[in-house]
Amino acid sequence: YALQGSRWRTKNLTYKISKYPTGLNKQEVDKEIANAFNVWSGETDLTFTRKKGHENVHIEIRFEVGEHGDGDPFDGPGGTLAHAYFPVYGGDAHFDDAERWTIRSYRGTNLFQVAAHEFGHSLGLSHSDVKSALMAPFYRGYDPHFTLDQDDISAIQALYGTKTNSRRSQPLPPAEEDPELCKDPKVDTMFDTKDGEIIVFKGKYYWKLTDNGVASGYPRRISSTWKELPANIDAAFTYRNGKTYFFKGTQYWRYINTTMDGDYPKEISDGFTGIPDNIDAATVWTGNGKIYFYKGTKFWRFDPASKPPVRSNYPKLIQNWEGIPNPINAAVTYKGYTYFFQDNAYYRFNDRQFKVDDANPAFPRSTAYWWFGCKSASRGTLGNDH
């Protein structure tokens, strides 16, 4: 990231929209502009208060066409979308009203994303050369799962410090439903961190779960937290050495928390001899603390302390795990149980009886309802009508 060199002395800033875009509903614009400021107040103690009329404010926002009084004329559709002043020059933000500003649409130019970028300048941030950063200069199209890159967070916190008046001092907002997970609860993988948090990977995004659903502030980009980890991960687990292993295709990565632990990726055949490539799921089974890999109809047991780590009588058939279907998408340990996930359903395994647990409602249950807090999903057993 790059800092221009000036910042506001106060963290409580005011703004007003003196001139609105011609093609959007004013209330909608007010909301999107507030959301754009929230991007920065979410990571610092900055607050942004909207003023109206002729009140003096820190940041004045205007939608203008062509020459608009600052010697930097806009250039019509495309090209320059907007510009902003750094704090030392006043902090104002101007948007080219010749653009087709849109909200939550793949068409036109997304108002929220461009505004959040411009307000970065109004706060003292220059352009970043990290392509995935909000403060990169080029417009990248509408991103329904927009999240700040770590680069942006480091930049704004270098100027205004971390967030201390955080939610921790107030009750956490209720666990939230995530529209994407509620609509399609099939995931790439789930794993528990060494702190016992449950993380869900799907595509290029990840969610942290709470006991009741999805933690607020998610999804985030996998790459913004686990640098150099690709999207569409096959499987992951955290071993009792506190290290988390991620698997994709023929390769695997090892991290301690979110820091890569050595030179990765490596080949699965090197680090997990006897385990195949392109696995479906992996977990440390709560029944014996060994590592289990699942692929198609088969499973392998990997014991780092054994020679060889995978006995010759593996693979065996997943149907040995009575009641567990195959193939599975994910497996995770949570509060002493091992859970298996297939499509929109999940199963809790009873380690002593070595079969799917008896429970009411019986398994399979809806992953969306019980793991992602989707109240609209079925609470009962999936696959039959009661």
Partner 1 sequence: AVPTNVVISDTTAANYLAQYGYLPPINPENGAFLSEEKLTAAIEEFQAFAGLNITGELNDETAKLMATPRCGVKDKVGPAADGRSKR
- Residue 83 or 290 with smaller CB distance to partner 1: 83
- If one asks whether residue 149 binds partner 1 (CB under 8 A), the answer comes out as no
Structure-token match 């199963």, residue found: 347
- Residue 137 or 262 with smaller CB distance to partner 1: 137
The site for partner 1, by CB under 8 A, has a size of 34
Structure-token match 């991620």, residue found: 246
Structure-token match 């799917």, residue found: 356
- If one asks whether residue 138 binds partner 1 (CB under 8 A), the answer comes out as yes
Contacts (Cβ under 8 Å, ≥6 apart) of 292: 282, 283, 284, 285, 299, 300, 301, 302, 331
Q: Of the listed pieces 50-58, 134-142, 305-313, 360-368, which binds partner 1 according to CB under 8 A?
A: 134-142
**Residue 103 token pair:** 């909200």
- Residue 119 or 207 with smaller CB distance to partner 1: 119
- If one asks whether residue 171 binds partner 1 (CB under 8 A), the answer comes out as no
- Residue 75 or 322 with smaller CB distance to partner 1: 75
Dihedral angle sign, alpha carbons of residues 349, 350, 354, 355: negative
- Residue 89 or 354 with smaller CB distance to partner 1: 89
Which listed residue (42, 90, 230, 296) binds partner 1 by CB under 8 A? 90
Please report, for residues 21, 323, 386, the alpha-carbon distance to residue 381 in angstroms, rounded to integers and kept in the order given: 50, 14, 7
Q: Is 118 a catalytic residue?
A: yes
d(CA 246, CA 238): 9
C-beta neighbour count of 134 within 10 angstroms: 27
Q: How far is the CB of 193 from partner 1 (least distance, A)?
A: 31
C-beta neighbour count of 212 within 10 angstroms: 13
Which listed residue (35, 38, 80, 269) binds partner 1 by CB under 8 A? 80
- If one asks whether residue 144 binds partner 1 (CB under 8 A), the answer comes out as no
Q: How far is the CB of 324 from partner 1 (least distance, A)?
A: 45
Choose the catalytic residue: 118, 197, 228, 267: 118
Which listed residue (69, 168, 313, 376) binds partner 1 by CB under 8 A? 69
Comparing CA positions, the residue from 21, 2, 5 lying closest to residue 62 is: 21
3-class DSSP string for 303-356: CCCCCCCCCCCCCEEHHHCECCCCCCCEEEEECCEEEEEECCEEEEEECCCCEE
- If one asks whether residue 62 binds partner 1 (CB under 8 A), the answer comes out as no
Describe the crossing of helices 150-160 and 111-123 by its angle, rounded to 10 degrees. Answer: 40
- If one asks whether residue 86 binds partner 1 (CB under 8 A), the answer comes out as yes
- If one asks whether residue 131 binds partner 1 (CB under 8 A), the answer comes out as yes
d(CA 170, CA 297): 48
- If one asks whether residue 155 binds partner 1 (CB under 8 A), the answer comes out as no
- Cα 176 to chain center, whole Å? 14
- Residue 95 or 300 with smaller CB distance to partner 1: 95
Which listed residue (81, 123, 284, 332) binds partner 1 by CB under 8 A? 81
- If one asks whether residue 127 binds partner 1 (CB under 8 A), the answer comes out as yes
- If one asks whether residue 72 binds partner 1 (CB under 8 A), the answer comes out as yes
Comparing CA positions, the residue from 325, 256, 269, 332 lying closest to residue 302 is: 269
The residues that touch partner 1, with contacts defined as CB under 8 A, are 2, 4-5, 69-72, 74, 78-86, 89-90, 92, 99, 109, 114, 117-118, 121, 126-127, 129, 131, 137-139, 141
For the annotated catalytic residues, the residue numbers are 118
